[in-house]
A and B are shown apart, each in its own frame.
Chain A
Amino acid sequence: MTRLAAAVPGAKRLGLVIDLDTCVGCHACAVSCKEWNSGGEAGPLLDYDPHGPKPDGVWFNRVHSYEAAGQGCSRTVNLPRSCMHCEDALCVTVCPTGASYKRAEDGIVLIDPEICIGCKLCSWACPYGAREFDEEAGVMRKCTLCVDRIYDKSLPEAEREPACVAACPSRARHFGDLADPESRVSKLVAARGGNDLLPELGYRPTNKYLPARRATIPTASEAAEQSGDGGGVGVALLRLLDRVLSR
């Protein structure tokens, strides 16, 4: 059923919260995702020409690095990009077969590879470029939020989280229920001003990104300048000495 189901009261909205302040752009999440989904229930996630001159293949998670202009100096923003499990998922409603669907109980957007006819329309409907086509199987693929891990009772409870979250060495990725305002992820979003990517497109993504904090720690003299003449006679003398010596 590709019509979006009506919201079930009390239903979960599972998603990721990605901290752009701590993401170091190491690609561990992308590699771990690839590894898990090449072997797990959703796999194999194919590669074309993996060891040749033009390796290519299907990945659910891609890590970009950007340079953003800032005050005084520019800064690096590492951006892991994957399915946002949107509330207004156009990729689901355009699907002619019902292969693409959004689960009412937890909001995860999935593709049934047994039904998909490979028309690629869902990938055109996604502004985040989160869907990639499997040329060999002739069907579309996408992030499953590790639906085959997070509910797996045979795994220890601590491991029931998406592979990308488990792999992140800087703890920049968080997984949880964004419908519950008391959940750890919701509190993180509230405390850090988490936001949507491409909010103007109106897809209401579930995944949230925590913005980088101001990445400057003032030096002692900057701190003194900021606090006016604070610091007393000692600092004033040091500043004078500094000025004399730097002539």
Chain B
Amino acid sequence: MRPAVSVLLLTTLTGFAYGLLAWTGVYAFLGLLPATPHFATASTLLGLVIASLGLGASALHLGRADRAWRAFSQWRSSWLSREAVGAVLTYPVAILFLLALHWDHEGIAARLLGVAVAIMALGTVFCTAMIYASLKPIRQWHNSHTAPDYLIYAVFSGALLFALLHAVVGGSASIFVIVPVTAAIALLAKRAYWRHVDAQTPLASLASAIGLPKDVEVRPLDAPHFTENYVLREMGFTIARRHSARLRRLALGLAFAAPLFLTVLAGLAVAPLPATAAAVACAALGLLTERWLFFAEATHVSALYYGRAA
């Protein structure tokens, strides 16, 4: 599948943003938010701003962004519509949460709204993941790894941003335990995903694609057209195994291993702010690489018709 920059930015940025909102909400619920004035405000607003940037980037993917409002209508069947509804409903819930915090920093309203923010944020990430997980023609997406993985990466990257805010105010040590743990889980999840997709067999053969018994040997003779068409550009994207192996190592190192190491250092009070800032930068680049691979390595059944792998 063609990795479109708009979609890479959408899924990566909303992962950071909704992860951050979720952690802010959970910390509010547990009464663990630093007492520093405006910490929760800054954290929530940062989450909303980054989410807005991601959602804005996704509008670039649309052929008719002027009609984007129509995407809120089909939430009963479409995960994309549910994602849109979830993303928009998260704003008022987050604003109410901030108002409740101002009213009473550790009051019951703030705690409960914290939980509501976390549910809305992670719910939206889940909807995003299900867009991919529900697509039957793409075996690398339509599996039991996709949805939990998106949640894991959001929880990890959000925790990392939350740690950066803590490093700024010099607060809570607990987040510097949480980040390395979530980084390790995310790393293991990504490796398990790659092991899973590498062991998959194609969903169909060219023979069954043209209505012949599965095991008949078929090869393309004449293509319908000489140049690439939309189907090939969008669904026939291929990546050399050599490149993919190199990029996988880069993604694991940047997205998870480097932030793990750097936040452990920060937790041990070795230059906490620079270390955490560097960890965020690494994770952003690494997760973009990881997301690029999620698309580039995904194959689509329709590519079979053109004799490409699926």
Contacts and interface: CB of A to CB of B under 8 A. Distances in A.
Interface string B48-69: 0000000000000111110110
A79 B234 CA distance: 21
A97 B302 contact: no
Given A56-B228, A69-B218, A96-B80, A211 B211 contact: yes
A3 B224 contact: no
Given A76-B221, A93-B78, A120 B211 contact: no
Contact of B301 (A140, A195, A201): A201
A62 B305 CA distance: 10
Interface string B281-310: 000000000000000000011110110000
Interface in A181-224: 195-203, 209, 211
Contact of A56 (B1, B227, B303): B227
Contacts of A140: 63
Contact of A77 (B134, B210, B225): B210
A117 B216 contact: no
A167 interface: no
Most chain B CB atoms below 10 A, which of A4, A65, A79, A199: A79
Contacts of B65: 117
B136 A202 contact: yes
Contacts of B219: 66-67
B73 A120 contact: no
Nearest to B229: A56
Contacts of A54: 227
Contact of B131 (A121, A123, A135): A121
Contacts, number: 198
A124 B204 contact: no
B284 to A, nearest CB: 25
A203 to B, nearest CB: 8
Contacts of A203: 136
B250 to A, nearest CB: 26
B212 A129 contact: no
Contacts of B135: 90, 94, 124-125
A133 B301 contact: no
Nearest to B228: A56
Most chain B CB atoms below 10 A, which of A2, A117, A139: A117
A23 B45 CA distance: 62
Contacts of A124: 1, 135, 137-138, 234-235, 300
A25 interface: yes
B181 interface: no
Nearest to A120: B234
B95 interface: no
B230 A132 contact: yes
B137 A64 contact: no
Interface band, chain B: 35 or more
Nearest to B131: A121
A30 to B, nearest CB: 7
Interface in B13-69: 61-65, 67-68
A28 interface: no
A54 B233 CA distance: 14
Nearest to B71: A96
Contact of B235 (A1, A66, A129): A129
B75 to A, nearest CB: 8
B63 A55 contact: no
B244 interface: no
A138 interface: yes
B131 to A, nearest CB: 7
A205 to B, nearest CB: 10
A215 to B, nearest CB: 14
A95 B78 contact: yes
A235 interface: no
B61 A119 contact: yes
Nearest to A80: B224
Contact of B80 (A3, A62, A64, A94): A94
A216 to B, nearest CB: 17
A97 B136 contact: no
Contact of B81 (A67, A79, A96, A133): A96
Nearest to B207: A68
Q: What 3 A-B pairs have minimum CB-CB distances, sorted nearest first?
A: A118-B63, A138-B63, A129-B302
23 contacts: A3-B74, A3-B76, A20-B210, A20-B211, A30-B224, A54-B227, A55-B227, A64-B305, A69-B217, A94-B78, A94-B80, A115-B70, A117-B64, A117-B70, A125-B137, A127-B136, A129-B302, A137-B63, A139-B64, A196-B211, A198-B301, A202-B136, A211-B212
Interface of A: 1-4, 20, 25, 27, 30, 54-59, 62-69, 76-77, 79, 81, 90, 93-99, 115-121, 123-129, 132-135, 137-140, 195-203, 209, 211
